[in-house]
Amino acid sequence: MGFRAPHSMQMVSRREDNVLGWGALTQGSPDKVYLGVAEVSICVSLNAQNQDIGSILLEHLISSSEESSFWTLKAQVFPENNISIYVHEKQGFRKSGTRRQLAQMSYGSMAGEWTDPVLMERRNKIVGN
Please give the DSSP secondary-structure letter assigned to residue 126: S
Question: pLDDT at position 4, please?
Answer: 45
d(CA 120, CA 118): 6
pTM of the model as a whole: 0.83
Say whether 83 sits in a helix, a strand or coil.
helix
Q: Once rounded to an integer, what is the mean pLDDT over residues 72-88?
A: 94
Sign of CA dihedral 20, 110, 97, 28: positive
The tens digit of pLDDT for each residue in 48-60 reads 888 899 999 999 9
3-state secondary structure of 49: coil
Which residues in 16-62 belong to E strands, given as ranges?
Answer: 18-27, 37-44
Dist CA 128 CA 66 (whole Å): 10
Weakest mean pLDDT among 41-50, 70-79, 91-100: 41-50
Question: What is the separation, in whole angstroms, between the first and last Cα of the chain?
Answer: 16
- Does CATH number 3.40.630.30 belong to domain 8-123? yes
The pLDDT > 90 percentage for the chain reads: 43
Per-residue pLDDT, 12 = 73
Residue 85 pLDDT level (bands cut at 50, 70, 90): very high
